[in-house]
Structure formats: structure tokens, C-alpha cells
Structure 1
């Protein structure tokens, strides 16, 4: 039987093969056919010599839309998605534009707080309790979205092994 396709979308730091992403790949590769995408590459942004705020501004001024467009061209079958920070937001928006997502797992995707419509797929979101940019409880209620607040964690909670185990365990349970 063919493995379910799982796409992983990086955070705004992207990179060819970030060390922290390897933790997720190692935990999930036995069950899934995994495709990793650097969101900066999808967006056509060269981040060499750019500071975080410049990358962020480029993503907000057309980069997110270019990444969605690229993703829609690359993926035309049903997929599960694991997105980190801006990667989760890109997946959410791509789903609303036709990406066939079966289940979306997004970690620290704080820009989702601006979204007013939820994709038609299973969704589980993860946020650090101490991430001041996470959506508020009203947003979760209005969009009827399942989420987990991780105590004593901030925005980059996804870069630690313990949290990677927690997220991967949920993905494997869903599957």
C-alpha cells in the first residue's frame, strides 16, 4: 500500500535541511512519503544577507501569495501538511484556494489570527502559551478549530525535541 503523502513547510528561516526539521522527518518517515518545502524558495525570496524583518516583509508583500501559487502547482493530490509558523499559514491559505489537504497540523502559525475562514479539512494547531501573537480564545471558538496550548513555551517551541515528539505523536494517531 502506498504511503500517505505528508508535506512539511518550513518557518520563515527556511533552509535546505534545517537540523530541527530532521527530528520530525525521522519520526514520521516510516509511515509517510515526506516532501519538505522551504517556504522562502516557494516564495522566490533569497534570504542571504537579509535580517528576519526583511524576510518577513517580503513574505507579507507578495511572498505568501507566490508560495501558495507554487505549492498549488507542485501538489495536486491529497496531502497531509505539517507547517511551522508562516508555513502553516501558507498551507491554510493554499487549502482555501484548492490544495487538497486531508489534515493540517500547524505549529506556531500566529498569522492565522487574521484569518476569518477555516479550510475544509481536519485541523490541529499548536501554540506556545507564552507566544503573545497567538490567536485569542474567541478566534478558536469562532472558527471552531482544535488547538493545543503548550505551557511555558514561546514561538519557536517547534525546534525542541520534546515538542516534536508531541506533534508527531498526534500526526501518527490521526493517521
Structure 2
């Protein structure tokens, strides 16, 4: 089985909020873009957080808008084997160097985890760090709670971005 690998982080020195997924799904890997599956709700959820119509923008402009809002993206998993795109199928997991990345982000105030798998693995990697860790319902279409319920949890990320 082929090893699947995450993308490089999308961050800069001004990143205040880091949103971590688990490992890109097959549609994202094929497109070489974060959250490329058309049914994944990530871009709609983040649009509500940063007050920018992200789904209407070309991909590179979406990333620029996130950076302008001081939001970074990455994944907890650096590489793994996984048939398909479900987190439950992840095997042979190798984690990304989350503590190493965090050390390069002087303005980082919080890390949000897109789904339970990202949260479970990320919290272990970040044990001992003095950061706010925020579990979120997964933006994946496989996570069956409705968009409105997800949106309520995700929109709370605004507080991190608006804090002094």
C-alpha cells in the first residue's frame, strides 16, 4: 500500500491560530490542495470564521486570505498508509513535528483540531506546551452532524483571532 504524505504547513510569523487536520484525503492529495473534496465543508466553515467568502476564491487566494487573517494550516500526520480517505483506516502513522513548528510561531495563541483523530494525536504531540487546544467537529462529509452544528463550534475560533 502506498504511503500518503501531508502537505507543507501554510503559516507565517503572524500566525495566531493554527488549524490542524489529520491527513489529506485522496481528493486533496490528487489535487495537491488542502480540503479539495467538494463536499468537505472546511472552506465554508473557515469563511464564517474569517469573514471572507473563501469558497468563491481561487485556491491560492484562499490561502492568502487565511494568512491575512492570521490563520495557518497543517496536519498532525506527516505520513501513513491508508486505503481511501477515512481517518479510521490510518496505519503506520508518523507525526509531523508540531512542537518544532510551534517554536517558529511567536504569535501563536491557539491550535484548533479539525476532527477527533487530529485532536487525539495532536494533543499527545503537544503535551507540555502552554497553548489553547481546541477540538472541532470534523469538516469531512463523513462526519454526519449538520453544517449548522459544525458552524457553531467553528465560529468560536473568531475569539482567538480577535483577542489582543
Classify the TM-score, shorter chain. Answer: 0.5 to 0.7
Helix, strand or coil at the partner of 2:34: coil
Q: Which consecutive unaligned segments of at least 5 residues does structure 2 have?
A: 1-12, 52-67
Aligned length in residues = 116
Question: Do the aligned partners of residues 57 and 46 (structure 1) sit closer, same or farther apart at CA in structure 2, a change above 3 Å counting?
Answer: closer
User: What's the TM-score, normalizing by structure 2?
Assistant: 0.53
Q: CA deviation at 1:53?
A: 7.5
Name the SS for the 1:45 alignment partner.
strand
Post-superposition CA distance 1:87-138 (Å, at most 9, x none): 112231122154x42x2211359xxxxxxxxxxxxxxxxxxxxxxxxxxxxx
1:156 is aligned to 2:143: yes
What SS does the aligned partner of 2:120 have?
helix
Q: Give the alignment partner of residue 17 of structure 1, picking from 26, 34, 54.
A: 34
Aligned partners of 2:24 and 2:34 also within 8 Å: no
Residues 1:82 and 2:112 aligned together: yes
Sort the Cα spacing of 1:3 and 1:26 in 2 relative to 1 into closer, same or farther, 3 A.
farther
TM-score, L = length of structure 1: 0.50
Higher helix share: 1
Question: 1 or 2 for the larger relative contact order (CA 8 Å, sep ≥6)?
Answer: 2
User: Quick one: distance in 2 between partners of 1:71 and 1:88?
Assistant: 12
- What secondary structure sits across from 2:158 in the alignment? helix
8 Å CA contact retained: 2:18, 2:71: yes
